[in-house]
Amino acid sequence: MSQERKGAATFKGNPITLVGPELKAGDAAPDFKLNKDLLNEVSLSDYAGKVKLISVVPSIDTGVCDAQTRRFNEEAAKLGDNVAVLTVSVDLPFAQARWCGAAGIDQVVLLSDYKAKSFGQAYGVLIQELQLDMRSIFVIDANDKIQYVEYLGEMT
């Protein structure tokens, strides 16, 4: 059973429970399985030897998540081939693909945690009450060690 962190964040000022550990810089990055599309999964090892910048958003179809992902797409173009910029949400792969096409996103890979929400649990960002992943950022080096973590404390 995953660890529950009651009151670890708030939603519109009310305490919410995050499921999973609170990761810190220096921790080994947990493996994950996320959907790149409906049938194909990817894992941490698919990005072996690269720095991974993982932007986690609750839903790509909200204004803040949209703006965040567009900004990461702009910045990703400057980072080169040794950095994989990934955005994770629980949106269905169909919705992610539709949004990417409409938004012209071509530098960021959108990945879906919709099936088992195992990424959210492994990275400590699954909001128990909403079954969404909490906005957060993870920077993982080429050796799969976490170098930076930021969990957003308030979600509106």
Residue range 34-82, pLDDT digits in tens:
999 888 999 999 999 999 999 999 999 888 888 889 899 999 989 989 9
Here the tokens at position 104 are 């012209």
Residue 85 near residue 72 (C-beta atoms within 8 A): yes
pLDDT exceeds cutoff 60 at 1: no
**Once rounded to an integer, what is the mean pLDDT over residues 94-120?**
93
pLDDT exceeds cutoff 80 at 132: yes
What pLDDT is recorded for position 62? 85
The SS3 call for residue 36 is coil
Global pTM? 0.93
What pLDDT is recorded for position 61? 85
For residue 112, which phi and psi values (nearest 5 degrees)? -110, 135
CATH code of domain 4-155: 3.40.30.10
Cα first-last separation, the chain:
28
Q: Determine the Cα–Cα distance for residues 114 and 93; give it in Å rounded to an integer.
A: 8
What pLDDT is recorded for position 153? 85
Q: Determine the Cα–Cα distance for residues 153 and 9; give it in Å rounded to an integer.
A: 5
Q: Show the CA angle centred on residue 101, arms to residues 96 and 102, nearest 5°.
A: 100
Least confident of 21-35, 57-71, 72-86, 125-139: 57-71
Around Cβ 23, how many Cβ atoms within 10 Å? 20
Catalytic residue among 9, 16, 23, 65: 65
Distances (CA, A) of 2 to 18, 121, 122, 131: 10, 7, 8, 14
Decide if 100 is catalytic.
no
